[in-house]
Amino acid sequence: MYKDLKNKVAVVTGGSKGIGRAVAERFGKEQMRVVVNYNSDAQQAAEAVQAIEAQGGQAVSVHGDVSSEAGVQGLLDAAVQQFGRLDVWVNNAGMEIKSPTHELSLADWNKVITINETGVFLGAKAALNYFKAHHQSGNIINMSSVHEQIPWPTFASYAAAKGGVKLFTQTIAMEYAKDGIRVNGIGPGAINTPINAEKFADKAQYDQTVAMVPMNRIGKPEEVAAGAAWLASAESSYVTGITLFIDGGMTLYPAFKDGQG
């Protein structure tokens, strides 16, 4: 628990399931007030709100597409109307499309880039404008991926988007450090969420993924949420512009693990 987080107001995009849901619920445990954004699954967002309230936090679920400026503005408005302020903005919403790159349609490329990268820009812009207008410090956390660093054939749009998120995070961290606004990324590895449900249901693919993790297991959404809570809290007060990899060592070149090479 981080005492300074109590009563702070957070927006979590894509907060209805997976990692976003775990972050929203962890913020609830920290007694924060949370705007749980969803795009399509109102029921799961409502369950997230209930879970947060059961932990002693406060929450509201708000529909909004992160790839639309109006959708993102609606999340900021909800934070201010419901809870009177904004302290933390988590750009978590994301999705991926698998395709050999030479067959990837422009529409699918644009969809992945728009949600994963432009959505991060729009969320960060809304939060920055709020913090600047209120002359207050603030905290932005962008959910990136190990694929901001590791190339991922047949997921070129996703890797390009996350690579973009990395330098966007570093750039605005530098641009707004003087304003007391901290901006950091989180790079999850293989985490057990709906995005991976189909893949992990297949034992061969599950085992293949585990073999790429030095810690020899798939991560839990709560383990990513723990990093988000630390980055949101004053315990990380001198940290800005990093990517906190939460990946069981996946970014450590696991092919070398027995001294090969």
Residues that bind ligand NAI (CB under 6 A): 13-14, 16-20, 37-41, 65-67, 92-95, 115, 143, 145, 188, 190-191, 193-196
**Residue number, 172 or 246, with CB nearest to ligand NAI:** 246
Residues 6+ apart with CB under 8 A from 18: 191, 193, 194, 195, 221
Question: Quick one: angle between helices 156-176 and 119-133, nearest 10?
Answer: 10
Q: Tell me the closest approach of the beta carbon of residue 7 to ligand NAI, in angstroms.
A: 25
**Residue number, 13 or 169, with CB nearest to ligand NAI:** 13
- Could you give the CA distance from residue 225 to residue 52 in angstroms, rounded to a whole number? 14
**Residue number, 16 or 233, with CB nearest to ligand NAI:** 16
Closest-CA residue to 20 (of 172, 168, 142):
142
Q: Tell me the closest approach of the beta carbon of residue 90 to ligand NAI, in angstroms.
A: 10
Residue type, 34: V
Q: Tell me the closest approach of the beta carbon of residue 113 to ligand NAI, in angstroms.
A: 12
**Residue number, 138 or 188, with CB nearest to ligand NAI:** 188
Can you point out the beta strands (E) in the chain?
9-12, 33-38, 58-63, 88-91, 138-143, 181-188, 243-246
Q: Tell me the closest approach of the beta carbon of residue 191 to ligand NAI, in angstroms.
A: 4
Q: Tell me the closest approach of the beta carbon of residue 230 to ligand NAI, in angstroms.
A: 17
Q: Tell me the closest approach of the beta carbon of residue 135 to ligand NAI, in angstroms.
A: 29
- Residue 122 has which token pair? 């729009």
Instruction: Compute how many other C-beta atoms are within 10 angstroms of the C-beta atom of residue 24.
Output: 34
**Residue number, 31 or 164, with CB nearest to ligand NAI:** 164
Closest-CA residue to 58 (of 67, 66, 49, 48):
49
Q: Is 238 a residue of the active site?
A: no
**Residue number, 18 or 74, with CB nearest to ligand NAI:** 18
Which of 38, 158, 176, 206 is flagged as catalytic? 158
Answer whether 78's CB lies under 8 Å from 62's CB.
yes
Which pairs with CB-CB distance under 8 Å and at least 24 residues apart come from 176-180?
176/128, 176/131, 177/240, 177/241, 179/131, 179/132, 179/137, 180/136, 180/137, 180/138
The residues that bridge with 89 in the sheet, in sequence order, are: 11, 140
Catalytic positions are 158
